[in-house]
Amino acid sequence: MTNNPPAFPVVPDERELDSVRNGMTLRDYFAAKAMQGLLSTAHFGEWSTVAEDAYKAAEAMLKARES
C-alpha cells in the first residue's frame, strides 16, 4: 500500500476499463484540510507560508498513518 493513495478513488465500471481517475492524493486532501484551519485564524501570515505549513501538516499526518 502506498503512503499517499488517492483520497477519492473512482473505480471504473466495465465500460471504462481503459480509464483511470484517481482524483487528488491523500496528501493534497490533508493539506487542504490543514489550510482551512490555518486560514481560520485572524493572523495567518503570508500565503506561501500558509501553503508550506499546510503541506508540512499533511506530511505529518501521512507519517502518523504509518504507525
Q: How far apart are the C-alpha atoms of 67 and 63, rounded to whole Å?
A: 7
pLDDT value for 33: 94
Is 8 inside a domain boundary? no
Q: Give domain status of residue 2, yes or no.
A: no
Q: What is the structure's pLDDT at 56?
A: 95
Question: What is the per-residue pLDDT for 60?
Answer: 95
What whole-number distance in Å separates Cα of residue 26 and Cα of residue 4? 6
How many secondary structure helices (H) and strands (E) does the chain include? 2, 0
Residue-wise pLDDT tens digits, 7-61: 777 766 666 666 666 678 899 999 999 999 888 876 767 788 888 999 999 999 9
Range of the domain at 38: 26-66
pLDDT of residue 30: 95
Total count of domains within the chain: 1
